Amino acid sequence: MEEKWSKVLIHASAFFAPVLVPILFFLISSDDQIKRLSIQALLFQGVMWVLTTVSIIFSFILIGLPFLIVFGLMLLVVPIIGIVKALNDSHWDYPIVGRWV
């Protein structure tokens, strides 16, 4: 049961502490699955923030607006999907970075 709520907290941290919580779980947890998920969450947030920043820069020439909308929605929707999957006790990897870790 502890693993389930750890996963939920890691996914939910995207809304309140997207860097701090995954790092803490990586350092504190002894479970390999929790460590893997915390690295994925941290990498996902980093990649999404880089993509969002590039989209903001490109939005000045209007090409970045569609990307900004898509990446902004991903920052909101993907952690919610992760929370639901964790509550259902099903395995789930983050898109983009799930294969890296």
pTM over 0.85: no
Q: Residue 97 — pLDDT band, cuts 50, 70, 90?
A: confident
The pLDDT score that the predictor gives to residue 95 is 81
Q: Hey, CA dihedral for 90, 12, 73, 50, is it positive or negative?
A: negative
- Alpha helices for the chain (secondary structure H): 2-12, 20-28, 32-58, 64-87
The pLDDT score that the predictor gives to residue 25 is 92
pLDDT digits (tens, 9 = 90+) for 20-63: 999 999 999 988 999 999 999 999 999 889 988 888 888 777 77
Average pLDDT score over the chain: 86
- Whether pLDDT at 9 is above 60: yes
